[in-house]
Chains A and B, each alone.
Chain A
Amino acid sequence: MSVLSIRRLPDPLLHQPTRLIQHIDEPVRRLIDQMISTMRRHPRCVGLAAPQVGSDLRIAVVDTSGHPKAAKSRGLLVLVNPAIDAAEGMALQREGCLSIPDFTADVRRAKRVHLRAFDASGTLFDCWLEGFEAIVAQHELDHLDGTLFLDRVANLATDVFKRKSYL
């Protein structure tokens, strides 16, 4: 399965909102598989959104299994037309992004989120995500709205750091 190249800032595609998928057909299934392969190819990558690989479809993949920060993980999540319809609490986490290789930032996000999405087979599901997995989901859903973590920086003194180790 091929690995897709990652779009990086200042690529304008990273700021385009995505469009809903009407039907999970062969090209969509192929994109999902390629996104999973691409995510797995980058060792510290736990999530990937379609705009990062040049697509304007509303798809993201997440996999926090085995990650030291993920106390709980649901493993591989394929999110088609995802939406967060409830959020609770606040958490601060250092985030990086394959599309912004030079920086990491501390970003404030919700601690628990209620997620609704279709899976790769087109079945609607919903679940509560918490902790690290919730943060990753929020980061990926931001991508699907054309928002990057640099858009959420609220405190210069403490929040943005030049990346010390490279992806």
Chain B
Amino acid sequence: MTHRWIVTALGKDRPGIVAGVTRVLYDRGCNLEDSAMTRLEGEFAIMLIFSSPASQTEARMRAAFVPLERRLGLVVHLKALSRQETTVHKRGRPYTISVYGSDRPGIVFRVADVLARAGANVTDVHTHRSAGKAPSLYLMLLEVELPPRVSVPGLEGRLQRLGKSMSVRVNLHASDASIL
């Protein structure tokens, strides 16, 4: 019987991090599933779901990452996933939201708050702040799933009012699955 895990790793960016983490998994006969790995300013961040053969106990898996932490200067967190955590939740309708404007405190929080109150589930977020000469531009892109009871025009109206109050542009589009 296999086990499933999620591992996160954070560390100052440098070559060798992805190879280092995935080697630990490969050497133990593990299978990589979903992951998101990205550089955020000077840090590299990994979030990775994998399954391992039954022979890999929790203690063994944790021990496997210790040399890596030392060698690459990483902080690694391993969490065993229970059977319940691996069930896929019923999906709502996918929408993409873009928000952009002059950077100011509260953009991410206030948008996320409107979405949470509406019952929308945020599944993916990317933000970017342009560096260099002022004024800086803040861009946020979110993918959300809307349960059937959520009124899209109602949500759009709330987001537009929020956008006006914060001087940011907000757009909501049904996510386009087809490419051409």
Chain A residues at the B interface, C-beta cutoff of 8 Å: 8-10, 15, 90-92, 102-103, 108, 150-160, 162
Report the interface size class on chain B: 20 to 34
Contact in complex: B101, A155 (CB < 8 Å): no
Contact in complex: A160, B174 (CB < 8 Å): no
Q: Enumerate chain B residues within 8 angstroms of A152, measured Cβ to Cβ.
A: 171, 173
9 intermolecular pairs with C-beta atoms under 8 Å apart: A9-B100, A10-B102, A102-B139, A152-B171, A152-B173, A153-B96, A153-B171, A155-B175, A156-B126
Q: Enumerate chain B residues within 8 angstroms of A151, measured Cβ to Cβ.
A: 98, 169, 171
Q: Is B80 an interface residue (CB 8 A)?
A: no
User: Nearest Cβ in chain A — how far from B169, in angstroms?
Assistant: 7
Contact in complex: A92, B180 (CB < 8 Å): yes
**Interface 1/0 per residue, B127-168 and A, CB below 8 Å:** 010100001010101110000000000000000000000000
Interface residues of B in 38-82 (CB under 8 A from A): none
Q: Enumerate chain B residues within 8 angstroms of A90, measured Cβ to Cβ.
A: 180
**With contacts A9-B137, A154-B96 known, is A102 near B126, CB below 8 A?**
no
Q: Enumerate chain B residues within 8 angstroms of A160, measured Cβ to Cβ.
A: 126, 141
Contact in complex: B176, A156 (CB < 8 Å): no
**With contacts A10-B101, A15-B169, A162-B128 known, is A155 near B135, CB below 8 A?**
no
User: Nearest Cβ in chain B — how far from A95, in angstroms?
Assistant: 14
Contact in complex: B179, A92 (CB < 8 Å): yes
Chain B residues at the A interface, C-beta cutoff of 8 Å: 96, 98, 100-102, 124, 126, 128, 130, 135, 137, 139, 141-143, 169, 171, 173-177, 179-180
Distance between Cα atoms of A7 and B175 in the complex (Å): 30
User: Nearest Cβ in chain B — how far from A81, in angstroms?
Assistant: 25
Main secondary structure of the interface of A (DSSP, over half): mixed
User: Nearest Cβ in chain B — how far from A33, in angstroms?
Assistant: 28
Distance between Cα atoms of A139 and B68 in the complex (Å): 49
Q: Apart from A10-B100, A10-B137, A154-B96, list 5 A-B contacts with CB within 8 A.
A: A151-B98, A155-B175, A156-B143, A159-B96, A160-B141
What are the 9 tightest A-B residue pairs by CB atom distance, in nearest-first order?
A: A154-B176, A154-B173, A10-B102, A9-B137, A156-B141, A156-B143, A151-B171, A10-B137, A153-B98
User: Nearest Cβ in chain B — how far from A51, in angstroms?
Assistant: 14
Q: Enumerate chain A residues within 8 angstroms of B169, measured Cβ to Cβ.
A: 15, 150-151
